[in-house]
Amino acid sequence: MPAFTASAPGKVILFGEHAVVYGRGAIAAPVSQVRARAVVRADPHAPAGTVRIQAPDIRLDSTLDQLPDPHPLRLVISALLAHLGAQRLPACTLRITSSIPVASGLGSGAAVSVAVLRALSAFLGHPLPDEAVSALAFEAEKLYHGTPSGIDNTVITYQLPVYFQRGRAIQTLQVKQAFDLLIADTGVASPTSLAVRDVRRAWEADPAPSEAIFDAIGGIALAARQAIQNGENERLGALMDENHAWLQRMGVSSAELDTLVASARAAGAQGAKLSGAGRGGNIIALVEADQADQVSRALTRAGVKRTILTRVATSH
């Protein structure tokens, strides 16, 4: 039986998390060192319509029907079937593996959705264009995140650095000069939905202070876009530091994240900030290639579980 395989990268938010949910711009890039992968095989011996789902990383081995309702995989598969006007899948096994840490801000949920949509649509003989993949993955993001901006599914589907604004057409980011980011994982799982919910509660209770923070962060994302497009990468470190300070004021940082950001700067990074929803998950540090090792060692001494060095490459 032929296998239909697809994979999708992780992502990292460089600037603008949370404020992007409220319409401000944000910058994100794919992280290809970590990936989610989906493999679909027809199962001619199984009763018609039986879809077996195996995801050993999260100890899931179930039929589609037995998954809890709601469940992101159920949702992604029914959104795909509705999009294609199909009633159900032919009997098959869907195997999902991922090297993207869960609830760490690296987009594991969106990457799984994108890989599953690509593999299943190819299996059904209707491989989807990027636009449809991103739109359908967004449906599952709503279940993971509550009120997602759409940045994760967009950057992961298109696999390009983006300047993203909710509800606007995708704007790929022109990178004049490559730069390196060190991503450091606190190992503290932080579901995006909880941080997003708390930011929303604060905004609902008293919109003005939250709006002022979103505006400041939106301004930083815009300045960072200009710097990246003009090759003025030396401006990015200070912009990251500023963005982190606003995220602290928003209440989504934590003692661990602040310690790691300070350690990265002390070890020579040009700037550092939390990345993603906050509370746990990752920080990113802007590093010169020859400093990456020393910053990585300092972060490991400060307690991080893992570092990933990723390059935001020059656009062609």
How near is the Cβ of 308 to ligand MEV at its closest, in Å? 16
Give me the numbers of helices (H) and strands (E) for the chain, helices first please: 9, 11
Q: Which is nearer to ligand MEV, 283 or 298 (CB)?
A: 283
Close Cβ partners of 252 (under 8 Å, ≥ 6 residues apart): 18, 195, 198, 199, 274, 277, 278, 279
Q: Which is nearer to ligand MEV, 13 or 292 (CB)?
A: 13
Q: What sections of the chain are H helices per DSSP?
A: 72-84, 108-123, 130-145, 151-158, 192-205, 207-230, 236-250, 255-266, 292-301
Dihedral (C-alpha) 25, 139, 134, 229: value to the nearest 10 degrees? 10
Q: Which is nearer to ligand MEV, 21 or 286 (CB)?
A: 21
Round to whole Å and give the CA distance between 26 and 265.
23
The residue whose Cβ lies closest to ligand MEV is: 149
Beta strands 162-164 and 271-275: pairing type?
Answer: unpaired
Q: Which is nearer to ligand MEV, 155 or 175 (CB)?
A: 155
Tokens representing 73 are 């995989």
Tokens representing 189 are 């799982």
* Residue ranges binding ligand MEV (CB under 6 A): 13, 17-18, 20-21, 105, 145, 148-149, 151-152, 192, 196, 276-277
Phi, psi of 265, rounded to the nearest 5 degrees: -65, -45
To the query of whether residue 152 is one of the catalytic residues in this protein, the response is yes
Round to whole Å and give the CA distance between 109 and 71.
12
Round to whole Å and give the CA distance between 119 and 104.
24
* Set 152, 180, 185, 290: catalytic member: 152
Tokens representing 33 are 């060192």
Q: Which is nearer to ligand MEV, 20 or 284 (CB)?
A: 20
Round to whole Å and give the CA distance between 18 and 177.
27
Cβ proximity of 160 and 174 under 8 Å: no
Q: Which is nearer to ligand MEV, 123 or 144 (CB)?
A: 144
Catalytic center residues: 152
